Amino acid sequence: MASRPLRMVPLSLLVASACVHIDGPSTEDARLGDFGRVRFVGGDGCNDSTTLAVGATAELTLEPQAGAPLPSDLGVASDAPSTIGASQGEARDELVLVAHREGSAMVELRSEGEVWDRLEFAAEPAAAVTYEAADAVFASGTYLLKVSEVYGACGEECPLIGSGFLAWSAEPEGSLRLAGDEDRVAAFVAATETAAARVVGQEPVTGAALVDHPVTVVSAEGAGELEARLVLMLLDGTLLEGERPPAEPAEIPVGALLLVELSATSAGGDVVPIAGADVTWTVEGDAAAVEMNPDGIEPAAEGPVFAAVEPGEVTLEGRVAIIDRSTTVALTVTAQ
């Protein structure tokens, strides 16, 4: 089990692979179907792994190879559904796997009554996780804990995929209430009273506490001014992170994606990240220059994702009611 200070680059802005190979990098693509017609992409964590954590759900995308489209009558089946269940998602290219118990299952993609492609997946109990979490949250605020990587019994050589398998709780009871667990981000709502608490995430098979993190629920009274941090992703995939520029407005090119992360210091000196659920954003100026949460981009837990659409001058205002603070970020959207 390992933790590090909260610094969550949203998955909607950055998709990373942290695969570890026992014998060094392999030329074999473990996610390519047996017939080479499709690649099974995604599932959280290491993209090369085909092993789920028991109890986890993995949402995959079916990526056709060599330009061949997916069959219009595509169907999905598992030869061991009591071990790993398989079903189509909302779209034809989406596959949802659910690991019910330890073991393996062949997941088949079928067309015209025949197997069009297939790949074997496995499931095993998680033995360790790494995660990112803050040490404090404002009373009545939203607290985020992100599970970064999940590992099986042999550690980093056994990365697991999937999310939603940990049984979350908080001690003492009532200090934090679980509000959601999606894409490896657990969200809690803090109590109205200050408290010293712990967030615990238990593995469902062994009952082991893979996450046990101390959290202080601090008073919202006397909170300092909001501090903004910009996370910018350019068209070529370059990720830029840094504190708010001293000279405003900040310039971002058309086509870029922007996230504004907010934090504030409590009266006791704790630096407290602000979750997106606790911020109300408004756009002033050339409103057409940016689009909030455009199609194809899921909002991050830290807040909405803004897409730079056309040149213009805009001001983003974020208000946090729980501490009665607001801040603005001035932007100039420039032509590419």
C-alpha dist (Å) from residue 35 to 7, 40, 110: 40, 12, 12
Q: What is the pLDDT of residue 313?
A: 95
Dist. CA 211–CA 285, nearest whole Å:
44
Closest CA to 277 of 163, 137, 115: 137
Fold of 2-124: Immunoglobulin-like (2.60.40)
Would the pTM count as exceeding 0.85? yes
Cα–Cα dist 252/66, whole Å: 35
Phi, psi angle pair for 287, to nearest 5°: -60, -25
Domain ranges of the chain: 2-124, 128-218, 227-334
Third-level CATH fold of 128-218: Immunoglobulin-like (2.60.40)
Q: What is the pLDDT of residue 239?
A: 80
The pLDDT value given to residue 66: 84
One digit per residue, the tens of pLDDT, for the chain of length 336 reads: 555 444 444 434 443 333 343 344 445 799 999 999 999 999 987 568 999 999 999 999 999 998 789 999 999 999 999 999 999 999 999 999 999 999 999 999 999 999 999 999 999 999 999 999 999 999 999 999 999 999 999 998 899 999 999 999 999 999 999 999 999 999 999 999 999 999 999 999 999 999 999 999 999 999 999 999 999 988 887 888 765 554 578 889 999 999 999 999 999 999 999 999 999 999 999 999 999 988 878 778 888 899 999 999 999 999 999 999 999 999 999 997
Q: Is 159 in contact with 32 (CB distance < 8 Å)?
A: no
Whether the bond between 172 and the residue before it is cis, its omega within 30 degrees of 0, is: yes
Q: Are 272 and 6 contacting, i.e. CB atoms less than 8 angstroms apart? A: no
Residues in CB range of 253: below 8 A, 6 or more apart: 234, 235, 308, 333, 334, 335, 336
Q: What is the distance between the alpha carbons of residues 115 and 93, in angstroms, rounded to a whole number? A: 16
Domain at 227-334: CATH code: 2.60.40.3440
